[in-house]
Amino acid sequence: MHSSIAHAGTSALTRVIRSMIAAEGPMPVSRFMTLALGHPRYGYYMTRDPLGAEGDFTTAPEVSQMFGELLGLWCAEVWRLMRMPRPVRLVELGPGRGTLMRDALRASKVTPEFRSALEVHLVETSPVLREAQRATLAAPGVPVAWHERAEALPDGPLLVLANEFVDALPVDQFVKAEDGWHERRVEVGADSGFAFALMPAALPGFEDRLPPRLRRQPPGALLERRDYGPLCEIARRIAMFGGAALVVDYGHARTSFGNTLQAVRAHEYADPLLDPGEADLTAHVDFEALAAAVKERGVRAHGPVSQGVFLRRLGIELRADRLRRHAGATDRAAVDAALSRLSGPAPGMGELFKALTFAHRDLPRPPGFDSAEGPGDLAA
Ligand code: SAH
């Protein structure tokens, strides 16, 4: 096996994973990621609230109320396009502190019929974040239910939001060599730290199952693949009962090659193999693969469009103007900063982050997706 050496870690989960590898051999990257984020006792999300300035990273709803408000207005408009079913389940996957949902519910007040039709359902595995969501959502006075998994949602029409959720779903990695594609796994290196290693045997038929555009890569090409499980379950339900989902995340519009597995700790990049459970571990979203996976379940997909384009189409500039008018001078500067962070180019989120929607085949194009831009629109 080829391998590169990492520093030995000290987290509790390091010991757990080291003994699993000793017993079972090199570990798939997806399993390492699942344990790092979701191990019941030591997983990153199980033990802490990682969000905000004091935490490890800041998400769009934590940057400004404008984000959740615009997504709430999007939901109200899509509900109208759905012909106003009552009740409608407003679902969020991985709702963090509940900030996006709180802001969306505030904005939904402009459409009282929508607000009175909705029930909130949150899919969340972290006990710490569930508590935060309970506190944030106590005031709005809308019924809220929690679920461990999307499979547990009640039947019926759905409106689904998922911001920075898909990046936390585990990926597997594959590397092209002279004799074909090999899985990249995690092993224990010489200094007892974790290291990547290629499985010695090439995977039979791997290249033939790739879309033609992705075949014949040079040796060294790395491909990531993700199981979109919860999104596929949502797509199946939307195809059956109606509705739409909106996915916002960082990633690429079309499948591309390269390692995007990344760890973030205290707002800095960290070594993804060092101290699992102590840093956020994610990989970029492949929106082309996501669109293909949900379309297989019978929905129509639109996008992705960049977050900047999407938020401008939803009227973020008007919303910012309104906030500025009611604000003092320091708050006005904060509105400007939030506007460029959410919708501007790097270091803002406007280009790297993208929005994709998928919806029941009879639903007209949801707002923000009025022109064909991405692979979700190809061969719909
Ligand atoms: N959407 C929020 C939080 C993003 S962090 C925001 O924008 O601020 C990722 C969220 O997904 C956290 O709430 C985390 O606990 C949750 N999560 C991660 N993996 C999950 C899984 N497999 N099932 C359900 N929730 C998950």
Three-state secondary structure string covering the chain? CCECCCCCCCCHHHHHHHHHHHHHCCEEHHHHHHHHHHCCCCCHHHHCCCECCCCCECCHHHHCHHHHHHHHHHHHHHHHHCCCCCCEEEEEECCCCCHHHHHHHHHHHHCHHHHHHEEEEEECCCHHHHHHHHHHCCCCCCCEEEECCHHHCCCCCEEEEEECCHHHCCEEEEEEECCEEEEEEEEECCCCCEEEEECCCCCCCHHHHCCHHHCCCCCCCEEEEECCHHHHHHHHHHHHHCEEEEEEEEEECCCCCCCCCEEEECCEEECCCCCCCCCEEECCEEHHHHHHHHHCCCCEEEEEEEHHHHHHHCCHHHHHHHHHHCCCHHHHHHHHHHHHHHHCCCCCCCCCEEEEEEECCCCCCCCCCCCCCCHHHCCC
What pLDDT, on a 0 to 100 scale, did the predictor assign at position 372?
A: 56
The mean of the pLDDT values for the chain is: 94
Q: What is the pTM of this model?
A: 0.95
Ligand 1 centroid vs 313 CA: distance in angstroms? 26
User: Domain limits of the chain?
Assistant: 2-13+25-36+171-226, 60-166+229-359
Query: Rounded CA gap, 125 and 238, in Å?
Result: 22
Q: What is the pLDDT of residues 284-322, one digit of tens each?
A: 999 999 999 999 999 999 999 999 999 999 999 999 999
Pocket flag, ligand 1, residue 33 (CB < 6 Å): no
Atom 19 of ligand 1, residue of closest alpha carbon:
168
* Residue 186 contacts residue 197 (beta carbons within 8 Å): yes
Q: What is the pLDDT of residues 1-45, one digit of tens each?
A: 444 444 566 789 999 999 999 999 999 999 999 999 999 999 999
Q: What is the pLDDT of residues 202-253, one digit of tens each?
A: 999 999 999 999 999 999 999 999 999 999 999 999 999 999 999 999 999 9
Pocket flag, ligand 1, residue 163 (CB < 6 Å): yes
What pLDDT, on a 0 to 100 scale, did the predictor assign at position 373?
A: 53
Q: What is the pLDDT of residues 263-286, one digit of tens each?
A: 999 999 999 999 999 999 999 999
Q: What is the pLDDT of residues 123-172, one digit of tens each?
A: 999 999 999 999 999 988 899 999 999 999 999 999 999 999 999 999 99
Fold type of domain 60-166+229-359 = Rossmann fold (3.40.50)
Pocket flag, ligand 1, residue 30 (CB < 6 Å): no
- Given ligand 1 and candidates 101, 123, 125, 130, which is best to mutate, with the most ligand atoms within 8 Å of its CB? 125
